[in-house]
Amino acid sequence: MYAKGVFSMGMQMIQDKVMDEEDRDLYMEIENWFEENLPFPPQCLNQENVVCFFKTENSEEMMKMIRPALWLLDRYDHPYFLVYTNTPGEIVYEDKYQVVVKAPGKLIIEKVQEKWGPQAPDQ
């Protein structure tokens, strides 16, 4: 598997015309909220091979806004992983809400959690 963020997956589904019009509009509202409220990392603007992670100290508001996007991925049976890590990799950008790291080639998934949430079940 190769790293891809929720926004990349959502936009790909729109480009592939997978979503119906109402769901596409919902997704665009979510993306617009993030564009208006989070700085846009230059690495993302340049379409570099990077992955963005929300910082835990500000993740509650971000997760509240991202849950509808995850719901859309679920609705269209699009697989995804939520990744929680203390070692995200080489940080190439950082702001109050997020870090951007260079994406590795392939991801190695050590543990799959059946249900997602702000805390893993064993924490």
Partners of residue 12 on adjacent β-strands: none
Average pLDDT, the chain: 82
**Could you report the per-residue pLDDT of 17-57, keeping only the tens digit for each?**
999 999 999 999 999 999 898 888 999 889 888 888 888 88
Weakest-pLDDT range from 19-23, 68-72, 101-105: 101-105
**Could you report the per-residue pLDDT of 107-116, keeping only the tens digit for each?**
555 655 555 4
Percentage with pLDDT > 70 across the chain: 81
> What pTM value is reported for the model?
0.73
Q: What are phi and psi of 48, to 5 degrees?
A: -75, 160
Mean pLDDT across 68-89: 88
Q: In angstroms, rounded to a whole number, what is the distance separating the alpha carbons of residues 122 and 41?
A: 33
Confidence band of 118 (pLDDT split at 50, 70, 90): very low
DSSP code of residue 69: H
Alpha helices in the chain (DSSP H): 6-15, 21-37, 42-45, 59-75
pLDDT of residue 29: 95
Tokens 């603007």 belong to 45
Letter string b/e over residues 80-108, b meaning 16 or more CB atoms within 10 A of that residue's CB: eeeebeeeebeeebeeebbbbbebeeeee
Percentage with pLDDT > 90 across the chain: 41
Enter the tokens of residue 25. Answer: 């509009």
pLDDT of residue 75: 94
